[in-house]
Amino acid sequence: MAGYPIGGRIQIMQPLDLHPWTLDPAEAIRIQTALRERLALQWDRRTVSTIGGVDIGLQENTARAAIVVLSYPDLAPLEGVTADVPLVFPYVPGLLAFREGPAILAAWKKLQTHPDLLMFDGQGIAHPRGLGIASQMGLWLERPSIGVAKSRLACAWTSRRARRKARRLGRIA
């Protein structure tokens, strides 16, 4: 399904190419840990006039990404797209972006209006390595992102120092 603009501005923007998608899980964890250092955790006071909602559905060996763009603050629908792509990464807890990212990028390329802010069905910085699907795809798309997960990820802390750092960054209570 192609994008259908209802209003808003039209922008052309290609996502960054931060890493390959066909990796083994150990390499994906190394990349995720390195990408965490690129996050900006403070608001830069940019104007937000559009918000994008991102979700994924899976069926057999295919991922379908959907992105809906709304105006802000009135939340009027501006555009919606979907994209289907073959899955190239296995299901591994904590590495969802590597499984679903290619479908999100395919949908993003169909958008005529790229939103100022993204909300993902998944974790952001509340993630064992501080880089859930929302944060990782926010880096790819060069957009602030918010993870709106349905459940908490559980993890074991490797040290008291790691737990203190997570608490300071607001990832745990």
User: Which of 9, 108, 3 has its CA nearest to residue 49?
Assistant: 9
In the chain, the percentage of residues whose pLDDT exceeds 90 is: 41
Token couple for 148: 């709106």
- The answer to whether residue 61 sits within a structural domain is yes
Token couple for 156: 């074991």
Residue spans of beta strands (DSSP E) within 30-71: 50-59, 62-71
- The answer to whether residue 16 sits within a structural domain is no
How far, in Å, CA of 146 to CA of 11, rounded?
Answer: 22
Q: pTM of the predicted model, to two decimals?
A: 0.77
User: Which of 126, 134, 100, 99 has its CA nearest to residue 25?
Assistant: 99
- Domain of 108, CATH number, reads 3.30.2170.10
- The answer to whether residue 137 sits within a structural domain is yes
In the chain, the percentage of residues whose pLDDT exceeds 70 is: 78
Residue 73: the pLDDT is 95
Which of 31-45, 73-87, 137-151 has the weakest average pLDDT? 31-45
Say yes or no to pLDDT of 167 above 80.
no
Query: pLDDT band for position 166 (50/70/90)?
Result: low
Contact at 8 Å (CB) between 113 and 84?
Answer: no
